[in-house]
Chains A and B, each alone.
Chain A
Amino acid sequence: MPAPSGPDLPTFEWLGDAALTVRTPRARELYASLRAHPLPGVQEAVPALDLLTLLLAAPTAGEAVQEAVAARLATLIPAPGGSGRRVVVPVTFGGPDLDWCAAHAGLDRAAFVAALCAAQLEVAFLGFTPGFAFLTGLPEPLRMPRLDAPRERVPAGSVALGGPWAGVYPRETPGGWRLVGRTAMNFFDLSRAAPVPWQPGDRVQFEARA
């Protein structure tokens, strides 16, 4: 194998004796590739922003997995278009923090809602609670500081902004993001064949409903 080089070179970091974190700007493409064609020795791949944590079948599989991942990355074509799937989330705007967020963005309520619905969001990764997606792509003025003290209970379906992220709480949990609306869409429904309706790389858009 020729020595790989370039700015897109992955870095590997052990996390204990049975997991490896791969940092690469192509983490999303790597995740999609590993889902389609699993690597021997990798039990599970868990994405986050620009990284993928690989849980190994055995602690001793590490070196072989590093080589295989580097080789796989070299074959990947960047997919700037994401997964090609689009998810429209109908939102009734009006949460407890909507006016605060609009003021923070220097907009009136209607303009703030319009700006949020115009944002081209994307699922970066899922985590925190079943079905919760971290959505990237908020324009700078729409990024909101998290609450100093998290709310003990955020209702299911709450549409929220926190730091660089947007998200929807699939069920009632504690939460520190600012609540700007509600959706009736269910993001974790075990009665469906696919309980979680989105995947990393999906394009997401909020659509205002009365």
Chain B
Amino acid sequence: MTAPLPRASRPVGGGPLATGATVLRAGVQTTVQDAGRRVRALGVPAGGAADPVARRLANALVGNAPDAAGLEVTLGGPTVLFHEAALVSLCGAPFDATLDGAPLPLWRAAQVQAGQTLTVGGTARGLRAFLAVRGGLHGHEVFGSRATDLRAGFGGVQGRALRPGDHLTWAPLPAQAARRAFIAPDLRTPTGPHHELRVLGTGDLTPDLRDSLLARPFTVSPQADRMGARLTESVAAPRDPARPSVPNVPGLLQLPPDGRPILLLPDAGTHGGYPTPLVVITADLPRLGQLRPGDTLTLREVTREDANAAHLAQERALRQAEWMLRQ
């Protein structure tokens, strides 16, 4: 937490059209995202890339800080014409991507020349990927973050998903050759179609809820966006209309009166009044960003020690990869 709130709003950077890149096709929902903001106390959601492992590794591959802004692509990606050379990398779900028609591999840095067109197509598994550009994308900065908040309409490019004709720019950094580094497959966020999410119980977890939530597979419903992933199956939900609103945290499983659980993603509201019997452990939060409608998932209860060990192991591996890419 920062004592003085960061300066709220900064204008979008820009430049003559011979620089940067132009969006030719926008994709299903392509937004500028970074590591998000920390002003929930003002009612402002965190935001930020839904798969933070993809964000960190994509940024590390092009020599950016881990929280630099890039494009989060969803289900079907954009087509972008580059007016100047750039070093890019795409990490996340296994999207088909091409550079002037030639396959562009994920999980490595690639040099784009001025005049080339980058196309991110669809993905057979998972939902999202992060496209990093060396230097970090410009965007409307709000409370220290360029993350697009689609509901409140700020951040990124005019607070909305990309549209054809949008102009993207990024901060100039000295050119760097594409570095090769092996990114272990088990460091990559799993992309389904079946997911196992490790969870911890909260004070709302009754024996009945434990039985009904933990012992069965769930299906991700079509209502899956940056606010939350709704599940299709319902469980008997406790009713308490007088329940006070309390702060939400990432990965919370919310149980509305209809009993269909919602797993909260980065754009979820800051507070909620529904029972929240389970929380996904920190190490598995990136998996929430890859939940695709139709995927199945099971929730497995672990201990706090398990959760801490999983977080430490993941963080160690990520930092090692980031360190190797800096060398």
Q: Are B270 and A127 in contact, CB atoms less than 8 angstroms apart?
A: yes
How many chain B residues touch A (CB < 8 A): the figure is: 42
* B8-54 at interface with A (beta carbon < 8 Å): 8-9, 38, 40-44
The residue that A46 contacts in the complex, of B41, B281, B307, with Cβ under 8 A, is: B41
CA distance A46 to B270 in the complex (A): 9
CA distance A53 to B250 in the complex (A): 12
Of B1, B2, B38, B200, the most chain A CB neighbours within 10 A belong to: B1
B269 at the interface (CB under 8 A from A): yes
A149 to chain B, nearest CB (A): 12
Q: Are A16 and B252 in contact, CB atoms less than 8 angstroms apart?
A: yes
Interface size, A (range)? 35 or more
Q: Which residues of A contact B244 (CB under 8 A)?
A: 48-49
Interface 9-residue window, one of A79-87, A93-101, A112-120, A186-194: A186-194
Of A19, A58, A192, the most chain B CB neighbours within 10 A belong to: A19
CA distance A192 to B38 in the complex (A): 18
CA distance A46 to B246 in the complex (A): 9
B224 at the interface (CB under 8 A from A): no
Q: Are A59 and B43 in contact, CB atoms less than 8 angstroms apart?
A: no
Q: Are A59 and B279 in contact, CB atoms less than 8 angstroms apart?
A: no
Q: Which residues of A contact B3 (CB under 8 A)?
A: 35-38
Q: Which residues of B contact A21 (CB under 8 A)?
A: 246-247
B181 at the interface (CB under 8 A from A): no
Q: Are B41 and A17 in contact, CB atoms less than 8 angstroms apart?
A: no
Q: Which residues of A contact B252 (CB under 8 A)?
A: 15-16
A47 at the interface (CB under 8 A from B): yes
A89 at the interface (CB under 8 A from B): no
The residue that A43 contacts in the complex, of B38, B43, B271, with Cβ under 8 A, is: B38
Q: Are A190 and B308 in contact, CB atoms less than 8 angstroms apart?
A: no
* A1-38 at interface with B (beta carbon < 8 Å): 13-19, 21, 31, 34-38
Q: Which residues of A contact B42 (CB under 8 A)?
A: 126, 130-131, 195-196
A207 at the interface (CB under 8 A from B): no
Per-position 1/0 for B202-242, Cβ under 8 A of A: 11000000000000000000000000000000000000001
Per-position 1/0 for A119-151, Cβ under 8 A of B: 000000111111111100000000000000000
Q: Are B7 and A193 in contact, CB atoms less than 8 angstroms apart?
A: yes
CA distance A168 to B311 in the complex (A): 40
The residue that B9 contacts in the complex, of A14, A48, A191, with Cβ under 8 A, is: A191
The residue of chain B having its C-beta at the shortest distance from the C-beta of A50 within the complex is B244
Q: Are B249 and A190 in contact, CB atoms less than 8 angstroms apart?
A: no
Q: Are A194 and B282 in contact, CB atoms less than 8 angstroms apart?
A: no
Q: Which residues of B contact A133 (CB under 8 A)?
A: 43
With A48-B246, A126-B270 known, 7 other A-B pairs at CB within 8 A are A17-B308, A38-B3, A48-B244, A129-B152, A130-B42, A134-B245, A195-B9
Can you list 29 A-B contacts (CB < 8 A)?
A16-B251, A17-B279, A17-B308, A18-B249, A18-B282, A18-B311, A31-B41, A37-B3, A38-B1, A38-B2, A38-B3, A47-B247, A48-B245, A49-B244, A55-B40, A59-B304, A126-B43, A127-B247, A127-B270, A127-B271, A128-B43, A128-B270, A128-B271, A130-B42, A130-B43, A130-B152, A190-B142, A194-B5, A196-B43
On A, residues with C-beta under 8 Å from B are 13-19, 21, 31, 34-38, 42-49, 51, 53, 55, 58-60, 125-134, 163, 171, 188, 190-196, 200
